[in-house]
Structure 1
Amino acid sequence: MWYNNILETIGNTPLVRLNRVAKDIPATVLAKIETTNPGNSIKDRMAIKMIEDAEKSGKLKPGGTIIEGTSGNTGMGLAIAAVIKGYKCIFTSTDKQSKEKFDALRAFGAEVIVCPTNVDPEDPRSYYSVSSRLEREVPNSWKPNQYDNLSNSQAHYEQTGPEIWEQTEGKITHLIAGVGTGGTISGIARYLKEKNPAIQILGIDTYGSVFKKYKETGILDKNEIYPYITEGIGEDFLPQNVDFNLIDHFEKVTDKDAALMTREIARKEGIFAGNSTGSAVAGLLQMKDRFKASDVVVIIFPDHGSRYMGKMYNDDWLRDHGFLKDEKLTARDIVHRKENQQIVTIDCEQTILEAINTIKSLNISQIPVTQKGMVIGKITESDILNSLIENPSIKSQPVKNIATAPFPFVDLNTSIDKISAMINKDNIAVLVEDNGQIEIITQYDIINAISA
């Protein structure tokens, strides 16, 4: 058997039992692995549905341009369909999304416009507003508007919901899914509750989003809104695809818990999933008292981990955000394990001969060069030797004449791995500021710190 094109492979994704990450949950916990779709995300389902419905209605015409605001995954689904069907794509997105998502969209020939995150949806700079403006300006264009286009939720009513019902043989008792546009959870929920009204639909929200409070109070509280890191879920407005009557409960998950759980899923289940999956599983653990042994819980795993390599799967990114504290040495540890000695510097107006004498007397190989106390460069043994070979009389000249670019500065929390990677034959040290004092870290200092 073969398929006529890649779009025919969308859907029929596997349901996989979670074991180690769900060991404290009494119920059977199953993951709906949407990464097997051709665009590696659940958004392929609604992307093709929105396009096909627009074609039928005449809103999308041959040779047209698809313009959409997207966090990446919907754009990927639209871009793949556009390749097959002969459309152009222009996508707007926010600067909090991972670079990998933008690169993937561009790989399919799409144009990507990055907009600021921390602005209101009505702001002309927002990715919602920019996409709407482009739709007005670009001839023969169509904006799917995944947030309010009910073809989004209809795709999941027609496809994902029935798949889950059949795969669990109607035994599902709870559905857990992140809520962004609302199409996934609402479409699946409508189908499942028609089959069994007792099935509980549990939405995952994030801090900085309005969904949970609106569900519980009916109030759209602007004070709830603030920037957050988690991708793919939460919103600062109410999309029409979010059917609050179908969602029984919203559970909020912190950025940190979502990021760390994303990594745990890969390490404990061997499933390489994205950021919102981490939110969903962290939410599952927070809600463990809701489940009993006879329950069958299905969690949607919307997208693939490859789109988060520079974020959740990057140790330095996690440390920078205060999410990861491990036992690896940092610049702070290396500095504190060094012998207590003052860093030697030389003023840019001092002579090269003075630099030679300093290097000899202190048995060092490099000196940071300063100007009015600020590090502006460096001078090394090889710099001096090369200069003397060319011009032996250069000794009386100021060191600034032969100084090269300064050693790079690193943060005190920079890992030993990153520092080691920065030190090479062209860059033999790094600098770090500790309590207002400049310290130098060499390969020798790293070795000493490791062996201490």
Structure 2
Amino acid sequence: MTGLLDLVGGTPLVRLQHTAVHAKLEYLNPGGSVKDRAALSMVLDAEASGALRPGGTIVEGTSGNTGLGLAQVAAARGYRMVCVLPDKTAVEKLDALRAYGAEVVLTPSALPREHPNHVMRYAQRIADDRPGGWRADQYDNPANPAVHFRTTGPEIWEATEGRVTHFVATIGTGGTISGTGRYLKEASGGRVRVIGADPVTSAYGGGDGSPFAVEAAGHYVHPQTADDLWPESYHRDVVDEIFSVPDRDSVHACRSLARTEGLLVGGSSGTAFAVARQVTGDCVVVLLPDSGRAYLSKYHSDTWCRRQGFLDGDLDTFVSPVVTVPVGTPAAEAREALASSGQPALPVVLAGRSDRFPPAAGEVLALLTADELTGSGVVGPAPTPPVGVGVGETAADALARVPDDASVFHVVRDGRLAGLVTRGALTRL
């Protein structure tokens, strides 16, 4: 008889109907993602070493999928589970974690690594404080890439009868692409090319590290982070090339897989597929890491996509370059910037961010009108975050949900600041 955890791995490889790409369906693991492999491997390794003892507590900082894998293992093997997650994590993941009996702790997503409430520092503090606590540490745990060398790589090699020429995967902790890629390179005598798929602003692919919309992929860097450490699970020597993918392409690719191939997958799967369909090779294999069932309120929701500006609509009219100032700007300088811009308000954004990309919607800390820009101090974040309206929304839908006391809103396209609109302009549409 087979136990639940014996079902981890062994996922199918299917040829997609509308491309020559073969897809490794990792979302068919029992916990719904490729992270089931790393979760089980890390727990078994910790049990063998004595780091995790019977009745102990597993703790992890995660974007959700590793937490789900660990929560599944914890439930099956009798451990308690605490997950620390960014506050932008999809609600379906949070509900699933609680369903497994895990304790969920949310922390702000845009914190520098040195902040005590950064996901990893917070998780380590909880692990240190709980009797029998053990932090899985997927980013630096060698059991993460090791399990993909032992299982994922051999499965792909066997399923393709050694014909695989290109392997495409996203880079989050780096464990999947590192372990799988290393096996395929060794098995093929170096013939297989390993290609990383990365959000366009992620630091892995050379972006500025600013926020991106895709969960479970990429590398975010807060501008106040003093020492940007990359995961030890990511072996850069394995990856031959990294393709950078705009968030819009990831979201649309993810939605397309559901509607043209019948594959309901998550945003990071969309990122990987957006790259794989560009790759020319005799046998291209893309790893689709997680299920779209965890993102029904995000990438597969028309409402969310319209509000985040991933679908086009009425408010495209208000997309235009915007003058911003970083938080901490002297009020007099901010007043001058607003006056010369001709804008109805001045967006105040997170300090230290590169101007290579418009600020992410969540980095807009305040929208200040001339009447609000008074005094001689410096501008700071608003007590209540400003409201954004997506380019994909109708004016009527936007007006129905914005606060009655707000007069100016920032316009969001592809999850980033794209313009400004007044209440009066919305009412006239």
Aligned with 2:192 (options 193, 196, 199) = 199
Aligned with 1:166 (options 145, 158, 173) = 158
1:211 matched residue in structure 2:
204
Change beyond 3 A, Cα 1:411–1:240: closer
CA distance in 1, matches of 2:424, 2:114: 47
Q: Secondary structure at the match of 1:83?
A: helix
Conservation of the 8 A alpha-carbon contact between 1:63 and 1:88: yes
CA distance in 2, matches of 1:244, 1:53: 24
Pairwise CA distance, 1:232: 0.8
- Give the residue type in structure 2 aligned to 1:208: T
1:246 matched residue in structure 2:
238
Q: Secondary structure at the match of 2:238?
A: coil
2:14 matched residue in structure 1:
16
Q: Secondary structure at the match of 1:263?
A: helix
**TM-score, normalization by structure 1:** 0.69
Q: Secondary structure at the match of 1:212?
A: coil
Residue 322 in 1 paired to residue 309 in 2? yes
Deviation string for 1:400-440 (max 9, x for gaps)?
Answer: xxxxxxxxx99696757995xx89xxxxxxxx999654998
Deviation string for 1:355-388 (max 9, x for gaps)?
Answer: xxxxxxxxxxxxxxxxxxxxxxxxxxxxxxxxxx
Pairwise CA distance, 1:226: 1.1
Conservation of the 8 A alpha-carbon contact between 2:86 and 2:119: yes
Aligned with 2:49 (options 44, 57, 60) = 57
2:5 matched residue in structure 1:
7
CA distance in 1, matches of 2:390, 2:123: 41
Conservation of the 8 A alpha-carbon contact between 2:309 and 2:391: no
Deviation string for 1:295-335 (max 9, x for gaps)?
Answer: 10100010000111111111121112211026xx89x9xxx
CA distance in 2, matches of 1:180, 1:124: 22
- Give the residue type in structure 1 aligned to 2:13: L
Q: CA RMSD in A?
A: 2.8
Conservation of the 8 A alpha-carbon contact between 1:96 and 1:229: no
Change beyond 3 A, Cα 1:410–1:251: closer
Q: 1:330-341, aligned counterparts within 5 Å?
A: none
Q: Secondary structure at the match of 1:245?
A: helix
**TM-score, normalization by structure 2:** 0.72
Q: Secondary structure at the match of 1:82?
A: helix
Aligned with 1:101 (options 83, 93, 109) = 93
Aligned with 1:31 (options 19, 23, 42) = 23
How many residue pairs end up in the alignment?
A: 334
CA distance in 2, matches of 1:155, 1:412: 41
Conservation of the 8 A alpha-carbon contact between 2:214 and 2:267: yes
CA distance in 1, matches of 2:423, 2:9: 58
CA distance in 2, matches of 1:436, 1:99: 30
Structure 1 residue runs of 5 or longer lacking an equivalent are 23-27, 214-222, 333-408, 424-431, 442-448
- Give the residue type in structure 1 aligned to 2:309: G
Conservation of the 8 A alpha-carbon contact between 2:202 and 2:208: yes
Conservation of the 8 A alpha-carbon contact between 1:93 and 1:114: yes
Pairwise CA distance, 1:284: 2.2
CA distance in 2, matches of 1:118, 1:31: 33
Residue 300 in 1 paired to residue 300 in 2? no
Q: 1:56-205, aligned counterparts within 5 Å?
A: 56-196=48-188, 197-205=190-198
Conservation of the 8 A alpha-carbon contact between 1:92 and 1:131: yes
- Give the residue type in structure 2 aligned to 1:171: R
Conservation of the 8 A alpha-carbon contact between 1:117 and 1:227: no
Structure 2 residue runs of 5 or longer lacking an equivalent are 222-228, 318-386, 402-406, 409-420
Larger helix proportion of the pair: 1
1:386 matched residue in structure 2:
none
2:376 matched residue in structure 1:
none
Conservation of the 8 A alpha-carbon contact between 2:308 and 2:391: no
CA distance in 2, matches of 1:418, 1:78: 44
Change beyond 3 A, Cα 1:52–1:325: same
